[in-house]
Structures are given as structure tokens and as C-alpha cells.
Structure 1
Amino acid sequence: MRLSLSLAAAALLASCAWGPVLEPYAVGAAERMPVAESATVWGVRQGARLHFTHVDGASLPSRGGGGYPVSLVLAPGQHTLRAYFVTPDHRSTEQSLTAVLEAGHTYVVEYLLIPGTPAVLMKLVDQGKNQQCSYRRTDELRGTAVLHCTARAAS
């Protein structure tokens, strides 16, 4: 009986560990910065999956089975982000995106499917300073989520 309960608990914990961590992962100097002084980059879009694997050539941690980060907090300035991306129709690509990020801005990775080809193009889109984004899980077992962004209330 105890063995059965232990195995069931281990299986439950293991299944939770494979879902992505949905909070933005602070990289480098951004770990010590207030949100207003850093930039946030969001990667998962509706129906697609994206994982950031490198920032400025440095590998990101998989965070104990939680998967590579799906969103990042970075210091302002130029950064090169490496991302692995899978579209809803199962096309995949690994690309680098280079951009100059501004303090307090929110960025979202957008993608374009080239009809009739397997090609996928990705780019960072600046949403400005007045966006509040978060993920909502759509499937706990597979760890999928949908990104929702709304305008922040004026202060």
C-alpha cells in the first residue's frame, strides 16, 4: 500500500515538473533591477510553443525539469536571444533574434508562416510601456499556455 502511494505521488510530482515555468526568468543584471528599469520578452503565443535557450551566447538553465524559459526579463540594451519554436501545425525552427531593448518596455515574439513552405520567420515586436502580460494554462498535463496582454491602467 505504501509503495503504491509513493509511486503515485512520485508520478504526480514528475508530471508537474515537465510543464514550463510561466513566470519571466530574470537574466544577468535584470535579477537586481526594478521592473520599470528592465525589459520583458514574452515568447509563447496562442497555439505555438517557444523556449529561449540562450541569451547573448550564454546557455539558459532548464530549471530542474521545468523547461527552458518561455519569457525573459533583461537589462536594457542590445541582446541576442536564441529560441526554439514549434508552430501549431508542428513546423519547428531554431533562430536568433537580435534587438535593442528599452527599459520598461514589453516585447512579444511574433511569427509568420510562409505558405507552401516549411519556413517560419520570427521577430520581436515592441508593445511599448503600457502592457501587462501573463500566461494562462490551457492544458496542465502538456504544460501548454496562452499569452494574454492588456493595457495597464494609467497611473
Structure 2
Amino acid sequence: MTSESVQPVSKPSRRSVVAAVGAAGLAVALTACGSEDDASGSSTEQGAAGGGATSAAGGGAGGTALAKTADIPQGSGKVFSDQKVVVSQPAAGDFKAFSTICTHRDCPMIDLKEDTLSCSCHGSQFSVLDGSVKKGPATEPLAAKQISVSGDSITLA
């Protein structure tokens, strides 16, 4: 047998672990901030695929092209989650738009069934036809958004 000396395994100090975790968190946060440009490009592609928007109509300072008028069902609407807006058609040829941010606690909403937009955070429900509260706890209506309709294109102002 040999008498080798056994060195104790050194463990990192608590301070080293906390510093490493903090550095990793900072790196993740900086990476997320740096990828913001990539996210804006994908929202345009997703909006075009999901909403029938044309890039030629929304390319200038006139706003973001959302959809064709035929894409918005009468008596209901369509949510554009990247733009945080819902566009509805209360009556034939009459188009309205509202924010999809719940007025109760600022939760984003995407759950649209018929003419009702529901918040998954606390259960508030809103009419997409006029923005009114159908069910609380929210007490304030949805914020109206400006859109323009030109021919068969709907553009977010």
C-alpha cells in the first residue's frame, strides 16, 4: 500500500455560487434585450400569415397592415396578438378595434369566442363589438384603437 495523501475536495463558496448565478442572469437579460429586433421581424411575418396582411400596404408611415376586410367575421372579430389589438365587425362594413390588454390588471388577452374576449388571469370578459365589460372584475372598457379601412385592407394607425 502506498501512503498517498488525499486532498479534500474543495467546494465553491456560497459567494462564488451567487456571483455565478448573477452573471448568468445578466447574460440572459442582455441577450433578450439584444434580440428585440428579431422579434419585431417575426411579428410582421406572423401577422401576414395569420391575418392576411400585405407588406406593401403597411411598409410606410401609414401604420401596420392587419387584415383584409373579408378576414373579420361580422358579429365577431379577430385577435392580432403581436399588435395587442382585436378588430371586430359589429355590422356589415363597420370595423372597430380595441386593445387586447385587460383593464383590470393589464394581462394580455387572446381568448376570443364569438363576440367575447376573455382574460385568463382573473376572468374578465369584454365585448369586441364595442369594448364594453361583459363580466368583471374589470370595470373599465377596453381602450379603442385607431384603424383605417381602405378598399379591402385594414390598417392599424
TM-score, normalised by the number of residues in structure 2: 0.28
TM value normalised by structure 1: 0.28
> Relative CO higher for 1 or 2, CA cutoff 8 Å, sep ≥ 6?
1
Q: Which one has a larger percent strand, Structure 1 or Structure 2? A: 1
Q: Which of 1 and 2 has greater Rg?
A: 2
